[in-house]
Amino acid sequence: MIEFAADPTIVIFGKMVLAAFLGIVIGTERALMANQTAGSRTFGLVSLGSCLFVVTGMSIDAQFIGLVNFDPTRVLAAIVQGIGFLGAGLIIFRENNLHGVTTAAGLWVAAGVGAVVAFGMYSIAIFAALLTITVFFVMWYVEKSFKNWFRESKEHREDSTSL
C-alpha cells in the first residue's frame, strides 16, 4: 500500500481522479467497440463512486475513533450489492439472446478498481484495469474469429452433406 506524506484531502482527490480515470479507460471499449449505452461515463462514475464510498468510510473512522467502528468489508459488500442491482438492469433478453452481461461484468470490475484505489493499492488497480481492457479488446477479436471459423465450418459440413 502506497501512502503519500501530503495533505489528506489532496490524497483523497488523487484517489478519486485515478479511480474515475481507470473506470473511463475500462468503459471506453464498451462505448467504442461494443457500442453499448453503458460506456466511459458510466464506468468512470461507478469506479469513482466505489472509491468515494470506501474513502468516506475510512475518513469517518479516522475522525471518530472510538465512536464508529469502520469495517471496510461492509462497505465493499454494499458496493457489490449496489453494482449487482445496476448490472441486473443492464442485462436484457432480445428474442432468444442475452445482452449486457459483459457490460455488467465490466461495471462490477470497475467498482472493484475504484475500491482498490481507495485503499491505496494503486498498482493492483492499474493492473486490474489493464487486464480488464485486455480481456475486452483481445477477447472481442478472439470471439469474432471463433464465430467466423465455426460458421464457416458448419457451412462446409452442410455443403458436404447436401451432395
Q: What's the rounded Cα separation, in Å, for the pair 87 and 76? A: 16
Contact 110, 26 (CB under 8 A): yes
| pLDDT over threshold 80, residue 125 | yes
Provide the mean pLDDT of the chain: 85
Query: How far from chain centre, in Å, is Cα 59?
Result: 24
Mean pLDDT across 79-88:
88
Give the model's pLDDT for residue 66: 58
pLDDT in tens, 40-66: 898 999 999 999 998 888 877 666 665
* 94 confidence band (pLDDT: 50, 70, 90): confident
pTM of the model: 0.76
